[in-house]
Chains A and B, each alone.
Chain A
Amino acid sequence: MERTESGPRRGARLAGSAGRALLPIVAAAAILAVLPSIWFEDSPYTTSLAVRALVFGAYGIGFNLIFGCTNQLFLCVGALAGIGGYSTAIFVDRTSLPIWVGIAVGTASAAIVGGLLSWIAVRRSLGIIFTGIVTLVFSLAFANLLLGRRDLTGSETGLLVTGAPAGLADDQVGAYYLFAGVVVGFLVIFRVLQLSHVGWAFRGLRDDEVAAELAGVDVARYRIYAATVGSAMIGLAGALYAYSSGFINPATYAFDFVDVRVLVLVAFGGLGTLLGPVIGAGVLAFVDEQLSARLELREVLYGVFVIAIFLFLRRGVVATVVDLFNRVVAYLRARPALRPSRE
Chain B
Amino acid sequence: MRAVILDGIVLGLAYGLLGVGMTLVYGLGGVINLAYGQMVVLGAIVISLLMDDGVPTVVAALGGVLATAGVAVLLDLTLMRAVYRQRGEERTLLGLLLTLGVAFVIGGLLVSRYPAGGLYISISGEPISILGVPMARGSIWASVMALAVAAALLLFFGATTFGRGVRSVIQDEIGARLVGINPSFVRTVIFALSGALAGIVAITSSMNGPLTVNAGFELTTFALIVTVVGGLGSVAGAFLAGLLLGVVNTLSANYIGQYITSVILLGAAALTILIRPRGLLGR
Given contacts A133-B273, A148-B260, A302-B104, contact A141 B112 (CB under 8 A): no
A183 and B96 alpha carbons, distance in the complex (Å): 29
Which residues of B88-140 are within 8 A (CB) of A?
A: 89, 92-94, 96-98, 100-109, 111-112, 115
Given contacts A298-B108, A306-B98, contact A127 B266 (CB under 8 A): no
**A120 in the interface (beta carbon within 8 A):** yes
Could you tell me if B228 and A124 are in contact, using CB atoms closer than 8 angstroms?
A: no
Residue on A nearest B111 in the bound complex, by CB:
A296
Which chain A residues border B259 with CB–CB below 8 Å? 144-145, 147-148
Nearest Cβ in chain B — how far from A135, in angstroms?
9
CB within 8 A of A310: which of B94, B104, B217, B273? B94
Nearest Cβ in chain B — how far from A147, in angstroms?
6
**B262 in the interface (beta carbon within 8 A):** yes
Could you tell me if A140 and B221 are in contact, using CB atoms closer than 8 angstroms?
A: yes
Nearest Cβ in chain A — how far from B129, in angstroms?
35
Which chain B residues border A132 with CB–CB below 8 Å? 96
Could you tell me if B277 and A130 are in contact, using CB atoms closer than 8 angstroms?
A: yes
Which chain B residues border A126 with CB–CB below 8 Å? 273-274, 277
**A129 in the interface (beta carbon within 8 A):** yes
Nearest Cβ in chain A — how far from B94, in angstroms?
6
Q: A313-325 vs B: 1/0 string, CB under 8 Å?
A: 0000000000000
Which chain B residues border A311 with CB–CB below 8 Å? 79, 82, 98
Could you tell me if A144 and B266 are in contact, using CB atoms closer than 8 angstroms?
A: yes
Nearest Cβ in chain A — how far from B269, in angstroms?
5
Q: B69-94 vs A: 1/0 string, CB under 8 Å?
A: 00000000001001000000100111
**A22 in the interface (beta carbon within 8 A):** no
Nearest Cβ in chain A — how far from B90, in angstroms?
9
Could you tell me if B267 and A141 are in contact, using CB atoms closer than 8 angstroms?
A: yes
Could you tell me if B266 and A137 are in contact, using CB atoms closer than 8 angstroms?
A: yes
Number of chain B interface residues as a range: 35 or more
**B224 in the interface (beta carbon within 8 A):** yes
Which chain A residues border B94 with CB–CB below 8 Å? 310
**A303 in the interface (beta carbon within 8 A):** yes
Which chain A residues border B100 with CB–CB below 8 Å? 260, 263, 303, 306
A300 and B100 alpha carbons, distance in the complex (Å): 11
**B5 in the interface (beta carbon within 8 A):** no
- Number of A residues whose C-beta is below 8 Å from B? 38
Which residues of A123-177 are within 8 A (CB) of B?
A: 124, 126-130, 132-134, 136-138, 140-141, 144-145, 147-148
Residue on B nearest A73 in the bound complex, by CB:
B93
Could you tell me if B108 and A129 are in contact, using CB atoms closer than 8 angstroms?
A: no
B-side interface mostly: helix
A306 and B34 alpha carbons, distance in the complex (Å): 13
A15 and B255 alpha carbons, distance in the complex (Å): 66
Could you tell me if A128 and B89 are in contact, using CB atoms closer than 8 angstroms?
A: yes
Could you tell me if A307 and B93 are in contact, using CB atoms closer than 8 angstroms?
A: no
Residue on A nearest B218 in the bound complex, by CB:
A140
A127 and B32 alpha carbons, distance in the complex (Å): 14
Nearest Cβ in chain A — how far from B79, in angstroms?
7
Nearest Cβ in chain A — how far from B206, in angstroms?
22
Residue on B nearest A299 in the bound complex, by CB:
B108
A-side interface mostly: helix
Which chain B residues border A297 with CB–CB below 8 Å? 108, 112
A306 and B82 alpha carbons, distance in the complex (Å): 14
A298 and B274 alpha carbons, distance in the complex (Å): 36
A297 and B109 alpha carbons, distance in the complex (Å): 7
Residue on B nearest A144 in the bound complex, by CB:
B262
A294 and B115 alpha carbons, distance in the complex (Å): 12
Nearest Cβ in chain B — how far from A258, in angstroms?
14
Nearest Cβ in chain A — how far from B86, in angstroms?
11
**A305 in the interface (beta carbon within 8 A):** yes
Could you tell me if B105 and A303 are in contact, using CB atoms closer than 8 angstroms?
A: yes
**B270 in the interface (beta carbon within 8 A):** yes
Q: B264-283 vs A: 1/0 string, CB under 8 Å?
A: 00110110011001000000
Which chain B residues border A144 with CB–CB below 8 Å? 259, 262-263, 266
Nearest Cβ in chain A — how far from B248, in angstroms?
15
Could you tell me if A310 and B112 are in contact, using CB atoms closer than 8 angstroms?
A: no
B32, B89, B259: most-surrounded residue (chain A CB, <10 A): B259
Which chain A residues border B266 with CB–CB below 8 Å? 137-138, 140-141, 144
Nearest Cβ in chain A — how far from B124, in angstroms?
34
Could you tell me if B101 and A303 are in contact, using CB atoms closer than 8 angstroms?
A: yes
**A97 in the interface (beta carbon within 8 A):** no
Which chain A residues border B97 with CB–CB below 8 Å? 263, 306, 310
Which chain A residues border B98 with CB–CB below 8 Å? 306-307, 310-311
Which chain B residues border A343 with CB–CB below 8 Å? none
Given contacts A128-B89, A303-B101, contact A133 B224 (CB under 8 A): yes
**Contact surface of B with A, Cβ cutoff 8 Å:** 32, 79, 82, 89, 92-94, 96-98, 100-109, 111-112, 115, 217, 221, 224-225, 228, 257-260, 262-263, 266-267, 269-270, 273-274, 277
Q: A145-B259, A301-B108, A310-B98 are in contact. List 11 more A-B contacts (CB 8 A).
A: A73-B93, A128-B93, A129-B96, A140-B262, A141-B270, A147-B259, A299-B104, A300-B112, A304-B101, A306-B104, A311-B98
Q: List 19 A-B contacts (CB under 8 A).
A: A126-B277, A130-B277, A133-B32, A134-B270, A140-B221, A140-B266, A141-B266, A144-B262, A144-B263, A145-B263, A148-B263, A260-B100, A299-B104, A299-B111, A303-B107, A304-B101, A307-B79, A307-B98, A310-B97
Q: Which 8 residue pairs of A and B lie closest in terms of their CB atoms, listed nearest first?
A: A148-B259, A303-B104, A296-B112, A299-B108, A306-B101, A300-B108, A303-B105, A307-B101
